[in-house]
Amino acid sequence: MLLKDIRDYQILFLGLFLVLGINTRDWTLRPQLIGVAIATILAIQWILSLFGRFADLKS
């Protein structure tokens, strides 16, 4: 038996899926997608900051 722990096989297969995903990914960058990603990140950060402040006021 090559690997003694079943988790070693899990890590091996997850690593293979990661490599497969990286190699088959379309890595072309479009400015519109970058802008949407940044806007989404900032909007979510702002909304969750508001929720955090609201939760602090309630306690």
Alpha helices in 1-59 (DSSP H): 6-24, 31-58
And the tokens for 17? 């899926």
The predicted structure's pLDDT at residue 1: 58
pTM: 0.50
| Residues contacting 14, CB < 8 A, separation 6+ | none
Each residue of 1-58: pLDDT tens digit? 577 888 888 999 999 999 998 888 877 888 898 899 999 999 999 999 998 887 777 7
Distance CA 8, CA 29 (A): 35
